Every structure is written in structure tokens, then in C-alpha cells.
A and B are shown apart, each in its own frame.
Chain A
Amino acid sequence: GAVVSQHPSWVICKSGTSVKIECRSLDFQATTMFWYRQFPKQSLMLMATSNEGSKATYEQGVEKDKFLINHASLTLSTLTVTSAHPEDSSFYICSARFSYQGSNYGYTFGSGTRLTVV
């Protein structure tokens, strides 16, 4: 249980275009989802937290107009990289929180999207 499906796993796009990454919870309702970015051989950097039906909360230094996050349903969150540039090339990964045994919770992750902007 608690599976998150992330697509695409790998995408190449031209500079100036936009790319949408989807993250779906398959067997549970994800009221909270997280978007991370990972630079080579570094920790994942939290970009934003999204709650279903409300605006995402962005971490300091993350441009919300560039990285559009939509969490319109309990099973789907999307990250759109707008007007992508080569410096946006990175590994993006989503995470969703799920609850178990009442008040406890865990995190499950998508398999990640490697974005290359040329």
C-alpha cells in the first residue's frame, strides 16, 4: 500500500518550454504532498509543500512563478517547470504523507523525474 506513481521518469525539453510532472497516489488519499529537487550527490532539497485544495507553500529561494504546483485532488499533484532553462536540469521527486495506526504517519516517494533542458 501507499504507492505514489510519478511520471515522466525522464524528460528532455528545449529551453523556454514548460514541462509538467505528475504525481499520483494510487491506493490512498494524499492530502499533503511534497516536491523535492536533488542536485548531483546532494541531499534532496524541499521545494514546496502542497495541501489538497489550497495554495502550495514554497521554501525560501524557490520561485513560485517558475515552479507551479497544483494539488486539485486528493490523488494528484503536479509540478510545472515554466520557461525551463538549462539550470533547471535536475532530479525532481515527489512525496506524499500517509497515515497508519491512527495518529502515526509515514512518507512514500515517487520514483523521480530526471529533467534535462537543452
Chain B
Amino acid sequence: GEDVEQSLFLSVREGDSSVINCTYTDSSSTYLYWYKQEPGAGLQLLTYIFSNMDMKQDQRLTVLLNKKDKHLSLRIADTQTGDSAIYFCAESNSGGYQKVTFGTGTKLQVIP
């Protein structure tokens, strides 16, 4: 079945860039998502990218997609302490209402 993998932990210094990586196995993935979960809160959709795109930028967030290698990354520029959270990569093979497969989440720790 589909599999989405992420590293579990990332630590960066405030002001540096963070890069969270994700790999997936489903070649029919259409949408790829990044969610953020802050302590005690639900998942917040940060951004998503269609599989026919290579890059999407939204303010401090840059998503890169390498469809050939099935590799997705989320870059957070000028990382702030408020960015400390768990980030989930997810994929689905149609418009956001079908089966969604999530990674295990990457815990981002921002050191002041």
C-alpha cells in the first residue's frame, strides 16, 4: 500500500532555514500536503501542491516536489520559535476527499 516517510526530529536555530523532507511511494499521488500541529491542537493545513507542479512558494514556506524521486520538501525561511511544532506530510490520489496517507510527522525544535 501507500507509504509516506519522514524523519522524526529536526532541530534548527532561530533565524536559520528549516528543511523538512518526505518521501512517498504512491506514483498516482495527485495532491501532496503539509500540515502543522502545535501542542494540544489539531492539524492545520499549511500548504499543498499538485503533482504537476515542481515548486510552490507562500511567504516563508517553499514546497519542492521531485516527482521522479517521489520526494517532497518543506522549507521554512527565517525559522521562528513559533514554528516549533510537528509537521506532517500527506498525500492523496484525488481532490482532497479520498484516501489520505500521512507520514509520522517531523518534530521541529527551534532553538532561540
Q: Which residues of A contact B (CB under 8 A)?
A: 2, 9, 36, 38, 40-46, 59, 91, 93, 95, 100, 104, 106-109, 111-112, 114
CB pair A40–B37 under 8 Å, yes or no, is: no
List residues of chain B with CB under 8 Å of any chain A CB. Answer: 1, 8-9, 35, 37, 41-45, 86, 88, 95-102, 104-105, 107
Asked if residues B97 and A108 are in contact (CB atoms below 8 Å), the reply is no
A2-B104, A41-B95, A112-B100 known; A107-B86 Cβ under 8 A: yes
Contacts of A43 in B (CB 8 A): 35, 42-45
Chain A residue with Cβ nearest B48: A41
> How many Å lie between the Cα of A85 and that of B98 in the bound state?
20
Q: Tell me which of A36, A40, A104, A109 contacts B42 (CB under 8 A).
A: A36
In the complex, what distance in Å separates the CA atom of A35 from the CA atom of B44?
Answer: 15
CB-contact partner of A40 in B8, B45, B97, under 8 A: B97
Sample of 25 A–B contacts (CB below 8 Å): A2-B104, A40-B96, A41-B96, A41-B97, A42-B45, A43-B35, A43-B42, A43-B43, A43-B45, A44-B42, A93-B100, A100-B8, A104-B9, A106-B86, A106-B104, A106-B107, A107-B86, A107-B88, A107-B104, A108-B102, A111-B100, A111-B101, A112-B100, A114-B97, A114-B98
